[in-house]
Amino acid sequence: MVQGVKPFAIGETFQFESSTLKEHRTINVYLPLDYHPDSVQTYPVIYLLDGSADEDFIHVSGLVQFGSFPWINQLPPSIVVGISNIDRRRDFTFPTRNSKDKANNPTSGSSSKFIQFLETELQPLVKERYKTNGTKTIIGQSLGGLLATEILFKKPDMFDHYIIVSPSLWWDDESLLNLKPEINGKPESIFIAVGKEGKVMERTARSLFEKLKALNQPKVYFQYFPKQDHGDMLHLAVYAAFEKLF
């Protein structure tokens, strides 16, 4: 007879009303195995875009747990903050002048509000609720990679480490690549990855890497995954990023 059945939890989920976005947002949080609110131990925070339970939260949290095992020692025990989506095309894109972009993504163009939400609401809330040490990483893929790149170019101090996978830099006729990043000593490291995803995706990801390297950033990494495509890139890319960055 089966006995002692109980839920198996790896963290917690909470909701709060965003005054910036004017909507309830759901946040999933993975906590390290030894996490205790009364402990003096503090932890880095990894912010995960596309962080719903049915998106990337569970498997990325598993990578973080695995990488922080003492016998692996790939990265320090870390808190993962998964941001559940409501409308990622709205939140992860800036306004576009491309008519095809507009037609295919009619709600697009509000990344500035979402960045404000991250900076002025979510990051302070995480700092208040959890035992953090001030080190922050962002992980974004596809349109999430576009958003992470926009933050890197415009507000690089928001995160210490950037993991940018298969970024949708084709958006708005690749206009983001025409900007000069406002990088001055921050961030500490940047990892860019792309798979076999077509000429435009591959070229623009490499262009991003070359643009950042030209700024003499000391820790900028690029990795090409010839056996992966847009659908199965993220897991291996994040694992490789952890190896390089930490």
**Residue 154's CATH number:** 3.40.50.1820
Examine residue 119 and state whether it is found in any structural domain, yes or no. Answer: yes
What per-residue confidence (pLDDT) applies to 181? Answer: 86
Q: Cα dist. 22→109, 191, 201 in Å?
A: 16, 33, 33
Tens-digit pLDDT profile for residues 36-72: 988 899 999 999 999 999 999 999 999 999 999 999 9
Domain limits for position 218:
11-34+41-245
What per-residue confidence (pLDDT) applies to 217? Answer: 76
Examine residue 109 and state whether it is found in any structural domain, yes or no. Answer: yes
What per-residue confidence (pLDDT) applies to 197? Answer: 95
How many independent structural domains does the chain possess? 1
pTM over the 0.95 mark:
yes
Examine residue 3 and state whether it is found in any structural domain, yes or no. Answer: no
**Separation CA 131–CA 114 (nearest Å):** 24
Q: Within 13 Å and on the Cβ side, how many CA atoms surround 147?
A: 29
Examine residue 228 and state whether it is found in any structural domain, yes or no. Answer: yes
**Separation CA 95–CA 135 (nearest Å):** 30
Instruction: Give the DSSP letter of residue 186.
Output: -
- Phi and psi at 12, nearest 5°, equal -155, 165
CB distance 237 to 193 below 8 Å: yes
CB distance 233 to 141 below 8 Å: yes
Examine residue 71 and state whether it is found in any structural domain, yes or no. Answer: yes
Examine residue 114 and state whether it is found in any structural domain, yes or no. Answer: yes
What per-residue confidence (pLDDT) applies to 164? Answer: 98
Output the CA angle 236-64-85, nearest 5 degrees: 80
Of the candidates 53, 74, 55, the one whose C-alpha atom is nearest the C-alpha of residue 63 is: 74
Instruction: Give the DSSP letter of residue 185.
Output: S
What per-residue confidence (pLDDT) applies to 224? Answer: 98
Question: In the numeric block, which tokens belong to residue 170?
Answer: 């084709």
Examine residue 80 and state whether it is found in any structural domain, yes or no. Answer: yes
Examine residue 226 and state whether it is found in any structural domain, yes or no. Answer: yes
* Residue ranges of the chain with per-residue pLDDT less than 50: none
**Separation CA 6–CA 186 (nearest Å):** 45
